[in-house]
Amino acid sequence: MSDTLNRLAELLEQRKSADPQTSYVAKLYAKGMDSILKKVGEEAAETIIAAKNGDNEHLIYETADLWFHTLVMLAQAGLKPQDILDELARREGLSGLEEKASRAEEGAK
C-alpha cells in the first residue's frame, strides 16, 4: 500500500513545478491552500453520502478522491504520507480509549 502512496507523493512533488494548463495537481497548487481544502471538504461530504447509501463501489471511488486530495493538501503543507504512516505506527497497540483517558489525565494536571 505505501508503495502506491509513496509513488503518488513523489509525483505530487514533481507537479510543484508543472504547468497548471496541463496538470490538475499543478492547477490545484496554483489556486492555493483554501481551494485545496475546499476540495477536501467536498470529497469528504461525497464519501459520507456514498457510505450512507451503502454503495461500496461508489464508496471506494469517493474515498480514493478524498485520499488523493488529502495528499495534495499534505504536499502543499510540506508533508509526506510517510509522516502520517509514522504517526499511525506510533499509535499501534495503543487503544483509542486508553489514549483518550491519558489525554483527560493530562488535561486535569
Ligand X SMILES: N=c1c2ncn([C@@H]3O[C@H](COP(=O)(O)OP(=O)(O)OP(=O)(O)O)[C@@H](O)[C@H]3O)c2ncn1[C@@H]1O[C@H](COP(=O)(O)O)[C@@H](O)[C@H]1O
The binding site for ligand X (CB under 6 A) comprises 8, 11, 15, 23-26, 65, 68
3-class DSSP state of 1: coil
**Minimum CB–partner distance for residue 30 and ligand X (Å):** 11
3-class DSSP state of 10: helix
Q: For residue 68, what is its C-alpha cell?
A: 488523493
- In the complex with ligand X, the residue whose CB is nearer, 44 or 68, is 68
Alpha carbon distance 9, 55 (integer Å): 28
**Residues 9 and 81 sit within 8 Å (Cβ to Cβ):** yes
- In the complex with ligand X, the residue whose CB is nearer, 38 or 91, is 38
- In the complex with ligand X, the residue whose CB is nearer, 8 or 74, is 8
DSSP string covering 70-82, please? HHHHHHHTT--HH
**Minimum CB–partner distance for residue 81 and ligand X (Å):** 13
**Minimum CB–partner distance for residue 28 and ligand X (Å):** 8
**Minimum CB–partner distance for residue 89 and ligand X (Å):** 24
